[in-house]
Amino acid sequence: MNRHIQVGVIGAGYWGPKLIRNFQEIPDAAMTMVCDLEEDRLTHIKELYPAVRATKDYREVLASDVDAVAIATPIPTHHQLAKEALLAGKHVLVEKPLTANSEQAEELVELAAQTGLTLMVGHTFEYNPAVEYLRRLVASGEMGRIYYINATRVNLGIFQPDINVVWDLAPHDVSILMFILGMVPVNVSARGGSYVQRRIHDVAYLTLHFPDEILADVRVSWLDPCKIRRITVVGSKKMVVYDDVEPTEKVKLYDKGVDVPPYSDTLEEFHLSYRYGDITTPAIPSAEPLRLECEHFLHCVRTGDKPRSDGQDGLEVVRILEAATRSLLNGGMRENVRL
């Protein structure tokens, strides 16, 4: 495939136009078609990119000669659209979360395997250079044994009508956690509240238990006065904070810790020593994660390589969201991710 990869985007609401802009700017792709149910969205896209063909019927996209389809529609439609796209022989990039439940995700994973097509989910943060830095840092062993992770992702808005805050915001943190730890959690529990809309949680707290006694706590909210996007990873040798709201110094690596003596007795606590070393803000290249994600998708389409955030990754995230939902409804009890 030496020619440009022809891309069609289905859904031009909030996220779609960002995908369109990126595919438009990447040299070896051709942003060919766009589909949306609303006329004015299509008109807007046509004004920006007169060469793009617009349609209200997604089947026209699937019937066209585009090589790949990016799906940025409401979550309940992900499964059907992705399934038809794969059956039509198109490579597929689906916005997160992959589907509305795990059965749907499993079906897509299987279908992608059968057809040999690329199935990728838009876990954008896995393409964020700061998150990649964290993954390499953890993998290098420099932080020692990983103890636990705190994550906070809160803001005022944007409320969703059809999904709760767990399905809206937690996919970011869950995919980051699995990516930097290289592990899937064993179980998850969740608590939360529904304040503005009836029966739709706008605040939630998730606790995930990973193997090796690694704990992760995630706070998500649409109802906080401040925009906070912060992840703290605590290891036995070093600690690191990733603050995505910081304009330049997003990552700080702390040479801090508590040194435990090699032996232990009933008075071990008196031997603890605190270590307060340098703090380093590594120089991390600034690049738009969505651009890197789109490029990675095109690379996988071209080469057949397995995407970093492939269907299986998307399936794992959906399973965790399902388990968290069960926990929300049963009083916060731990729910196994694998039933």
Residue 212 in the binding site for a copy of itself (CB under 8 A): no
The amino acid occupying position 110 is: E
Q: Which residues of 190-199 are buried (b: 16+ CB within 10 A; e: fewer)?
A: bebeeeeeee
Residue 264 in the binding site for a copy of itself (CB under 8 A): yes
Candidate segments 28-36, 89-97, 132-140, 197-205, binder of a copy of itself by CB under 8 A: 197-205
Candidates 29, 31, 37; CA nearest to 12 is 37
Nearer to a copy of itself, 257 or 311 (CB): 257
Nearer to a copy of itself, 116 or 285 (CB): 285
Residue 207 in the binding site for a copy of itself (CB under 8 A): yes
Q: Which residues of 120-140 are buried (b: 16+ CB within 10 A; e: fewer)?
A: bbbbbbbbbbbbbbbeebbee
- Give, in degrees to the nearest 5, the angle at Cα 36 between 31 and 38: 135
- Assign 220 to helix, strand or coil: strand
What is the length of the chain? 339
User: Distance between alpha carbon 71 and the CA centroid of its chain, in Å?
Assistant: 15
Nearer to a copy of itself, 145 or 306 (CB): 145
Candidate segments 2-10, 62-70, 243-251, 292-300, binder of a copy of itself by CB under 8 A: 243-251
Residue 262 in the binding site for a copy of itself (CB under 8 A): no
Site string for a copy of itself, 275-314 (x = CB under 8 A): -xxxxxxxx-------------------------------
Residue 252 in the binding site for a copy of itself (CB under 8 A): yes
Nearer to a copy of itself, 267 or 339 (CB): 267
Q: Say which DSSP state 124 is in.
A: G
Residue 234 in the binding site for a copy of itself (CB under 8 A): yes
Q: What does the alpha-carbon distance between residue 151 and residue 181 come to, in Å, rounded to a whole number?
A: 14
Residue 37 in the binding site for a copy of itself (CB under 8 A): no
- Assign 8 to helix, strand or coil: strand
Residue 186 in the binding site for a copy of itself (CB under 8 A): no
Q: How far apart are the first and last CA of the chain?
A: 42
Residue 333 in the binding site for a copy of itself (CB under 8 A): yes
Nearer to a copy of itself, 295 or 310 (CB): 295
Beta partners for residue 152, in sequence order: 219, 230
Closest approach, Cβ 103 to a copy of itself, in A, equals 26
- Using the structure block, give the residue that is written with the tokens 């990873």: 233
Report which secondary-structure segment, H or E, holds 22.
Answer: helix 16-25
Nearer to a copy of itself, 289 or 332 (CB): 332
Residue 73 in the binding site for a copy of itself (CB under 8 A): no
Residue 159 in the binding site for a copy of itself (CB under 8 A): yes
Backbone angles phi, psi at 127, to 5 degrees: -105, 5
Closest approach, Cβ 328 to a copy of itself, in A, equals 12
In sign, the C-alpha dihedral spanning 306, 307, 308, 312 is negative
Binding stretches for a copy of itself (CB under 8 A): 50-51, 147-148, 150, 154, 156-157, 159-161, 189, 191-193, 195-198, 203, 205, 207, 213, 215, 217, 219, 221-227, 232, 234, 236, 239-241, 245, 247-249, 252, 254-258, 260, 264, 267-270, 272, 274, 276-283, 331-334
